[in-house]
Chains A and B, each alone.
Chain A
Amino acid sequence: MAKTNAIGLTIADYKGAPTTLCQGCGHNSIISQIISAVFEENLPPESVVKFSGIGCSSKAPTYMLGRSFGFNGLHGRMPSLATGALFGDLSLIGIGMSGDGDSAAIGMGQFKHIIRRNMPLVYIVANNGVYGLTKGQFSPTSDRGLKLKKQGVNPFEPVDICMEALASNATFVARSFAGDPKQVKTLIKAAMHHRGTAILDIISPCVSFNNQPNATHSYEWGKKHEVILHDMQFLPNAKEIMLEGEMEPGEVREVTLHDGSAIVLKRVDRDYDPTDRFAAIRALEEAKQKHILLTGLLYIEPDRPALPDLYDLPTDVPFNRMPQERLRPSPDTMQTVNDLMF
């Protein structure tokens, strides 16, 4: 018998349609980790809503969480769809699946503005540095000097998704690597519990168009150059935190999230404080200079108000189940309104 989680569901209850992405595509690995994260967090699939834009990344929601509602929208417009939709029932968790073309080209505006509003959403950028679905053109995150078959050499500096997120005052910024599934899963879990927009820039190699060993979005380069900021653990219930053995100061950091869950970060090479924006920006700049793939939770600010907090909405019933008598003003107000006209 298949293993069940705490709510009695098996992993099959979290699967989607069979993937039609290329074999070995990094996105498939991300899909698997999303499925595992939701399963392990014991969330009913109905409590998650999937959103995406256009591109290979945006096809991904079809291949996971078949029992979750999903909306595959327009190129670069996933954030606006998600913003409106999630107000329908604010108890649900939104997972937005985007790509480097989707978020850093046409979608740059919406990417930044959902961050600015801090709308709760797990915002994953499956970043492969290339347009896959249109067969291998440069994307905004392509390496400068990248050579592609029909395109020649890319003369432009790449957009750094995490730097853009930080510049927009994001409250959760992380980078990961599809070749590091454990870290991807931990970050997804933490992001699902973050009250605000959580940006996950996941380097996700495109095996068909941008996996040459010297490309910074390839498996080989990633495996050789990944440097983790910290060992990460997510604890859905902060009370469970048990630190193993003797710890030196700065050895372990703990970030408590809005709902009482916690992220535990264990030092690897250096002490890194993910609540220090300045440190995050410096870490990104250094990673660029040193040619490393620096992964982990770069920045978090758990307590900034999220967009729905600004509206003082009723919480006793989901907004999309609110009955007419609570939405239509009563008949006696009509005279008052007419009196307010001249």
Chain B
Amino acid sequence: MSTQSPTSSGTVVNDFSITVGTVNGTGSQTSNLTILRAIFKMGIPVQGKNIFPSNIQGLPTWYTIRINKDGWLARREEHEIVIAMNPATVKEDMEKVVPGGALFYADHIKLPIERDDITTYPMPVKKLARQSGAPAKLRDYVANMVYVGVLAQMIGIDMDKIRAALDFHFKGKESPINLNMGVIEAAAEWAKENLEKKDPYILEPMDATKGYIMADGNTAAALGALYGGVQFVAWYPITPASSLVETMNQYIPKLRKDPKTGKNTVVVVQAEDELAASGMAIGAGWAGLRAMTSTSGAGISLMSEFFGLAYYAEVPIVVWDVQRGSPSTGLPTRTMQGDITQVAFISQGDTDSIMLFPRDAQEAFEFGWRAFDYAERLQAPVFVMSDLDIGQNQWMVKPFEYPDEPMDRGKILWEEDLEQWEKEGKVWGRYLDVDGDGIPYRTVIGNKHPKAAYFTRGTGHDEFARYSEDPEVWVRVLKRIKKKYETARHILPKPVLESAEGAPFGIISFGSTHPAIQEARHYLKEEKGIATDYLRLRAYPFADEVRDFIADHEKIYVVEMNRDGQMRQLLQLFVPDMADRLISVAKGDGLPLTARWIMNTILEMEEE
């Protein structure tokens, strides 16, 4: 495991985690992002995770920053440095610190120091906040800048980089930048004069973040959709998906002015609820617009009836599911991969589903635009299964890449196409499979050809969209739709395979667990000498490569963030002949998986 062993000089450089415990709603997020961004600007790989309450103000909240020179940025369970700003949690915060670690605490918190194996640093937070000259109403906010300054002095965060971070955060507005910078500098100065460095953790500038950006997945998804040419968005606020459309609204004026007329080319409607949000988006998708909605598990439940309609009536729509702790209202501010089987079998009756699993903010951008191509090509709902960790946390990723393929608007027939078909004696029916791929041709409203119109319904219909209760027609149409999902398997993003020589078992995973999996594989190899093969799923229904991977391994651990091993269940249905090869490594406690937990769980299972 990452041991944080001191160098010969007794220091631990660029390899530790900082956890800040504060009170929700006091502006600590600005302080935490400032630390995160300044370290990133120092060229040191860094990742931040917000462990926050479902609350606007007053409850405890934590922010963990992982710094790792080798680029391992998954969540860790160890905290080398803890900053305690919240009297309500100071006791448990102190217990979190690893032996040899450091506790920074606000000195107005009366703290019986119960540990002699850590260094403790009091910080005169109230005094420095008072001296800052900040108006009384801002004092809580600037108080949080005190720990930025003290920490900067004690671990060596570059002041110029802090200023750059504040400049970004406050969009260049001098007054807040100077106010906060003043507090930070004063706090650093105070620390320099009054604190003696006793813990081993320090930062040294590196050159490892060049060519990377910091972005959260919801922003990436919003941008991806805008580059995908999204035209109609209907949504309803829900944690942790809300910022996706909110961010989109910010970027629309920058990115989506019609080059010809200067007018807008995106419509965003905040619906009255998820039922209406899905209905509007499906209406728009049916009418030939690139349409989407974004929500979380509870919203998916409400939208399910409409998704069943979109499935059977064959309407393209993109759905972002930013998953949170579930079932029920669950853990609204915690992460999970808990909606996998719900979406796979969405709505009543025999259905199929298309899911994409982005790994991080960069893939959220890519799937953001590609999802529309799949939806329109396949005339079906496409679900992008993000989660809170991807959506709301800052990820150090490669820059977004401009779409490398033109938009695929799928099989749409306009007036001239219908005329051409007539000339060629080809018969068009809305649900007629002409090409043998299960995907029929569609027309959309506004098509003025007298034979373009058809009647869309969720009731039984034949190949020409006529009402039908004929048992044979019903079965035939549903079989043909199934074929479409067989086609989907071949065009959706392929899984990513990483193989190693002599691997005794395989690992299958997907989505935000990727960094923890990679880190766990690294330790398995380095420390236990166990090489592993790894298949990262990117889409459902599964590609042939998934079957091949399972066939190639006698034992495969399926790692995911839920209780029941939902992806494993889907895989077992996919390869019933090899179902017993698939072993579930699943945990859904609301927190991102850690490499240590993954490795230890696998090792325990290996011993059994």
Q: Which residues of A contact B (CB under 8 A)?
A: 17, 44-46, 49-50, 61-62, 66-74, 77, 79-89, 91-92, 109-110, 113, 117, 307, 311-314, 316, 318-322, 324-331, 333-334, 336-338, 341-342
Query: Across the interface, do A77 and B275 meet the contact criterion of CB distance under 8 Å?
Result: yes
Contacting residues, chain A, for B37 (C-beta < 8 A): 342
Size of B's binding interface in residues, CB under 8 A: 80
Query: Across the interface, do A72 and B456 meet the contact criterion of CB distance under 8 Å?
Result: yes
Interface code B267-309, partner A: CB below 8 Å = 1, 0 otherwise?
1010111011111111111111111000000000000011001
Query: Across the interface, do B453 and A69 meet the contact criterion of CB distance under 8 Å?
Result: yes
Contacting residues, chain B, for A45 (C-beta < 8 A): 453
Query: Across the interface, do A329 and B289 meet the contact criterion of CB distance under 8 Å?
Result: no
Closest B residue by C-beta to A91 = B446
Query: Across the interface, do A326 and B260 meet the contact criterion of CB distance under 8 Å?
Result: yes
Determine which of B214, B283, B403, B445 lies in contact with A83 in the assembled complex, contact meaning CB atoms within 8 Å.
B283
- Given A73-B309, A324-B406, the answer on whether A87 and B275 have CB atoms closer than 8 Å is no
- Given A81-B279, A312-B264, the answer on whether A87 and B229 have CB atoms closer than 8 Å is no
Query: Across the interface, do B213 and A341 meet the contact criterion of CB distance under 8 Å?
Result: yes
- Given A109-B273, A319-B231, A320-B289, the answer on whether A327 and B407 have CB atoms closer than 8 Å is yes
Q: How far is the CA of A312 from the CA of B457 in the complex (A)?
A: 32
- Interface core residue of B272, B400, B466 (most chain A CB under 10 Å): B272
Closest A residue by C-beta to B450 = A67
Determine which of A85, A314, A329 lies in contact with B287 in the assembled complex, contact meaning CB atoms within 8 Å.
A85
Q: Does B149 contact A (CB under 8 A)?
A: no
Determine which of B281, B284, B290 lies in contact with A327 in the assembled complex, contact meaning CB atoms within 8 Å.
B290
- Given A66-B453, A73-B458, A312-B264, the answer on whether A338 and B213 have CB atoms closer than 8 Å is yes
Query: Across the interface, do A81 and B282 meet the contact criterion of CB distance under 8 Å?
Result: yes
Query: Across the interface, do A87 and B289 meet the contact criterion of CB distance under 8 Å?
Result: yes
Q: How far is the CA of A101 from the CA of B213 in the complex (A)?
A: 53
- Given A69-B445, A341-B215, the answer on whether A86 and B456 have CB atoms closer than 8 Å is no
Q: Does B103 contact A (CB under 8 A)?
A: no
Query: Across the interface, do A88 and B445 meet the contact criterion of CB distance under 8 Å?
Result: yes
Q: List 29 A-B contacts (CB under 8 A).
A: A44-B448, A46-B452, A69-B444, A69-B452, A72-B459, A74-B306, A83-B280, A84-B279, A84-B287, A85-B283, A85-B287, A87-B267, A87-B284, A88-B288, A89-B287, A109-B272, A109-B275, A110-B275, A313-B263, A314-B263, A316-B261, A320-B288, A324-B407, A325-B259, A327-B256, A328-B403, A329-B226, A338-B400, A341-B213
Determine which of B258, B277, B285, B449 lies in contact with A326 in the assembled complex, contact meaning CB atoms within 8 Å.
B258
Q: How far is the CA of A46 from the CA of B454 in the complex (A)?
A: 11
Q: How far is the CB of B105 from chain A (nearest CB, A)?
A: 29
Q: How far is the CB of B578 from chain A (nearest CB, A)?
A: 40
Q: How far is the CB of A319 from chain B (nearest CB, A)?
A: 6
Query: Across the interface, do A70 and B455 meet the contact criterion of CB distance under 8 Å?
Result: yes
Query: Across the interface, do B458 and A72 meet the contact criterion of CB distance under 8 Å?
Result: yes
Query: Across the interface, do A318 and B265 meet the contact criterion of CB distance under 8 Å?
Result: no
Q: Does B232 contact A (CB under 8 A)?
A: yes
Query: Across the interface, do A77 and B279 meet the contact criterion of CB distance under 8 Å?
Result: yes
Q: How far is the CB of A38 from chain B (nearest CB, A)?
A: 13
Contacting residues, chain B, for A68 (C-beta < 8 A): 453
